[in-house]
Amino acid sequence: MELLCSLNDQGLSIIIVTHEDSVAAYAKRLVRFLDGEIQSDEFTSNACGEVMKEARQ
C-alpha cells in the first residue's frame, strides 16, 4: 500500500476494487456499487500517510 500511496501522491490515479474496509480506508474517494449500479460516490478525508501510521501501531 505504501507504493500505491506514493504513486498517488505523485499524481497517478489508482483504482482498487475491494470488499475489505481496511483496504478501502486508504482511499481519498469511495464509489460503492450494488448490483452494477452506483449507490454512493463520496470523497473522504482519508490520507494514506495517516492510515499507514495507524496500521503500524
| Per-residue pLDDT reduced to its tens digit, 8-55 | 889 999 999 999 988 888 888 999 999 999 999 999 887 775 666 676
**Could you give the CA distance from residue 17 to residue 31 in angstroms, rounded to a whole number?**
10
List the domain range (segments joined by +) for residue 24. Answer: 2-56
pLDDT of residue 28: 87
Query: Among 56, 52, 54, which Cα is nearest to 3's?
Result: 52
Give the chain's domain count.
1
Q: What is the pTM of this model?
A: 0.69
User: Does residue 57 have a pLDDT over 70?
Assistant: no
Which residues, other chains included, contact 57 with Cβ-Cβ below 8 Å and sequence gap of 6+?
none
